[in-house]
């Protein structure tokens, strides 16, 4: 059974700092990996989707990488801002499956 782990569970950084969030998964036979953002009491917003054949995706200040063989993904946030404060979740889907397996998330606080 696929398991997704996100470390650390919480992270606090000063504004302007670059940071990396980590995601690991136990079964490398994935179809794709997604990073989501969740604000308190709200739904999830998709940030980046990486297909299993891709190594990375970029959107603005965000860059997500995927190393399928080692079961790892990172989300890099450049020049962090207080508005980036949220919980970030990663999720993987298995080949031929419509089901996503989610990690528990990393709660990010960017201090002005």
Partner 1 sequence: DGGITQSPKYLFRKEGQNVTLSCEQNLNHDAMYWYRQDPGQGLRLIYYSQIVNDFQKGDIAEGYSVSREKKESFPLTVTSAQKNPTAFYLCASSPDSEKLFFGSGTQLSVL
Q: Does 45 bind partner 1 (CB under 8 A)?
A: yes
User: For residue 38, what is the enclosing H or E element?
Assistant: strand 30-38
Would the CA dihedral through 63, 109, 19, 66 be positive or negative? negative
The number of residues that bind partner 1 (CB under 8 A) is 23
**Residue 49 binds to partner 1 (criterion: CB under 8 A):** yes
59 lies in the site for partner 1, by CB under 8 A: no
- Phi, psi for 71 (deg, rounded to 5): 70, 40
Please tell me whether residue 54 binds partner 1 under the rule CB under 8 A.
no
Which tokens sit at 45?
């917003």
In the three-class reduction of DSSP (H, G, I as helix; E, B as strand; rest coil), residue 70 is classed as coil
Of 11-19, 61-69, 78-86, 96-104, which part binds partner 1 (CB under 8 A)?
96-104
Footprint of partner 1 (CB under 8 A): 4, 9, 31-32, 34, 41-46, 49, 89, 91, 93, 98-105
């Amino acid at each position: 059974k696929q398991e997704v782990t996100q470390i650390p569970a919480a992270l606090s950084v000063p504004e302007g700092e670059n940071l990396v969030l980590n995601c690991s998964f136990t079964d490398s036979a994935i179809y794709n990996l997604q990073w989501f953002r969740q604000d308190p009491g709200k739904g999830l917003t998709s940030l980046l989707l990486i297909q299993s054949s891709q190594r990375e995706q970029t959107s603005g200040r965000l860059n997500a990488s995927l190393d399928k063989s080692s079961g790892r993904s990172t989300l890099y946030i450049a020049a962090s801002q207080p508005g980036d404060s949220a919980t970030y979740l990663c999720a993987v889907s298995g080949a031929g499956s419509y089901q996503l397996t989610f990690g528990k998330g990393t709660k990010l606080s960017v201090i002005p």
